[in-house]
Amino acid sequence: MVFDYGGVLRRDERASAYDVIDTKFSLAPGALWWAFHDIPEYRLSREGAIDRAAYRAAVRRALLEREGTDGRVDAALAAFDAHIAALPPLDADMQGLLDDLRAAGRVRLGLLSNAPRGFTERLRAALRTLGNPSGYCPRRADHRAATDAWNSSSPPR
């Protein structure tokens, strides 16, 4: 069984998290979501054509053009980064499901992601939680950035 990472194993990036930060820093409603998902560089980041630094620079530039340079943008981006960093690598209910699947002993588990280049450490943390500390394959531009399947009977490390 292959799981996607963002939005499946870890779902706490819903638009509401973006909206809370928009409101807190007096950005236009939907501004943060728009900057992360609707700029041309979003697609490039998902294809592996640009790295995380280039993508984040584009997000910042788009927000500055839209919201102004009075410091709110940088404060909002810092708050968003802190929010994401504080999230566990897997949602608790998904961790339970994976534990149950592993305990069943008949299901091989795999992980894939279209996360931008530079997100490797977060995925490695998820893999360690899943019991595979070395299965992450770096993203390729053709969107086949999947881990090798691993045996569900592998003990967690």
Residue-wise pLDDT tens digits, 20-59: 999 999 999 999 999 999 999 999 988 889 988 999 999 9
User: In degrees, to the nearest 5, what angle opens at C-alpha 61 toward C-alphas 23 and 14?
Assistant: 40
pLDDT at 93 over 50: yes
- Tell me whether residue 152 is in a domain: no
- Tell me whether residue 26 is in a domain: yes
pTM score, whole prediction:
0.68
Q: How many domains does the chain have?
A: 1
pLDDT at 125: 67
- Tell me whether residue 10 is in a domain: no
- Tell me whether residue 104 is in a domain: no
- Tell me whether residue 46 is in a domain: yes
- Tell me whether residue 24 is in a domain: yes
Residue 43's domain comprises 15-86
Percentage of the chain surpassing pLDDT 70?
A: 70
The burial of 101, by beta-carbon neighbours within 10 Å (0-12 exposed, 13-18 middle, 19 or more buried), is given as middle
pLDDT at 40: 95
Measure the CA–CA gap between 38 and 152, rounded to whole angstroms.
37
